[in-house]
């Protein structure tokens, strides 16, 4: 049974049902990807590495993880802590704008001095370790240093480190600060699953080919650059990149978590031994389901 650790933050999600009516759920980029990996690879052990509060909303959040087959054994509870939250507004094309309220989020205690060493050791013992630039954005510099040590230890034991740039400007002083935090992690990354627009915003890449070249130079050996409706560009450590088209003709309702779904579907196939091309097709198929429905997460599958 492959073991996967997803490091990040889950938040309260408030989504408009009407101008004055909101529906509550729980989501976050890394958790979304974990849920979609667990959905696509039911034989995998998927654990979420985070910190929550001890309030009723955190308890309900953990129930959502359980429903989506994501484990909580590596998620600490901070007494008196609270989760962050965000609101989503959609335009007529289903594109979303996020409004975050996360300054006091308990997840900001990830890799802080009070995190038990047993958490680091458990993460380093996994077969796959996943994080994003949003993960990095909520951590202190000392916590990022500790995290990089865990990633290096995981790779030394044979784990795959997976990184999604997922740049949100509101989480950073500026793009240069994001680049400074991301670059050392890329040097510890085996599989990069960026969205081109994010990497262009942070690194100024001229296009998908330039993004691939930069990631290869950092030592990344497997790359899938997500291109939205245009699909993705796949690349190994050498050779010409290959374009894999997205599913055509999807009636878009809500693009929230499209990239996270692609990542989960992609990694499920790779953990099962499938090729990157097969993984990309699976990722596109799952993303097509997600963007045809409202919200970040599809309803959980039955456990029967």
Where in the sequence numbering do the catalytic residues fall?
260
Residue written as tokens 């129930």? 63
Q: Which helix (H) or strand (E) holds 252?
A: none
DSSP 174-239: -HHHHHHHHHHHHTT-SEE--BHHHHHHHH--SSHHHHHHHHHHTT--EEEEE-GGG-EEEE-SSS
- What tokens does 261 get? 């779904």
Task: Give just the sign of the alpha carbon dihedral 195, 198, 203, 208.
Answer: positive
With CA atoms as reference, report the closest residue to 51 among 114, 2, 98: 114
SS3 assignment, position 17: strand
Give dist(CA 5, CA 175) in Å, integer: 27
Residue written as tokens 């990633």? 151
With CA atoms as reference, report the closest residue to 68 among 29, 40, 107, 105: 40
Q: Are 86 and 295 in contact (CB under 8 A)?
A: no
CA-to-CA dists, residue 84 to 60, 68, 297, angstroms: 14, 20, 18
């Amino acid at each position: 049974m492959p073991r996967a650790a997803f490091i990040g933050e889950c938040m309260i999600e408030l989504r408009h049902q009407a101008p004055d009516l909101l529906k509550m759920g729980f989501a976050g980029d890394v958790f979304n990807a974990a849920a979609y990996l667990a959905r696509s690879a039911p034989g995998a052990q998927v654990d979420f590495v985070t910190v929550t509060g001890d309030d009723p909303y955190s308890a309900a959040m953990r129930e959502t993880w359980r429903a989506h087959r994501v484990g909580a054994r590596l998620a600490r509870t901070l007494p008196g802590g609270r989760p962050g939250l965000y609101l989503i507004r959609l335009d007529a094309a289903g594109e979303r704008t996020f409004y975050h309220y996360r300054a006091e989020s308990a997840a900001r205690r990830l890799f802080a001095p009070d995190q038990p060493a047993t958490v680091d050791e458990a993460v380093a013992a996994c077969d796959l370790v996943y994080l994003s630039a949003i993960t990095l954005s909520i951590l202190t510099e000392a916590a990022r240093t500790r995290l990089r040590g865990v990633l290096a230890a995981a790779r030394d034991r044979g784990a795959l480190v997976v990184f999604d740039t997922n740049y949100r400007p509101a989480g950073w002083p500026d793009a240069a600060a994001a680049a400074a935090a991301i670059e050392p992690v890329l040097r510890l990354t085996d599989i990069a699953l960026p969205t081109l627009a994010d990497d262009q915003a942070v690194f100024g890449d001229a296009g998908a080919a330039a993004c691939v070249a930069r990631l290869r130079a950092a030592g990344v050996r497997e790359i899938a650059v997500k291109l939205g409706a245009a699909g993705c560009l796949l690349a190994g450590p050498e050779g010409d990149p290959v374009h894999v088209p997205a599913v055509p003709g999807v009636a878009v309702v809500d693009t929230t978590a499209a990239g996270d779904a692609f990542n989960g579907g992609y990694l499920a196939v790779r953990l099962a031994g499938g090729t990157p091309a097969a993984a990309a097709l699976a990722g596109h198929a799952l993303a097509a389901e997600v963007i045809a429905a409202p919200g970040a997460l599809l309803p959980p599958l039955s456990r029967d």
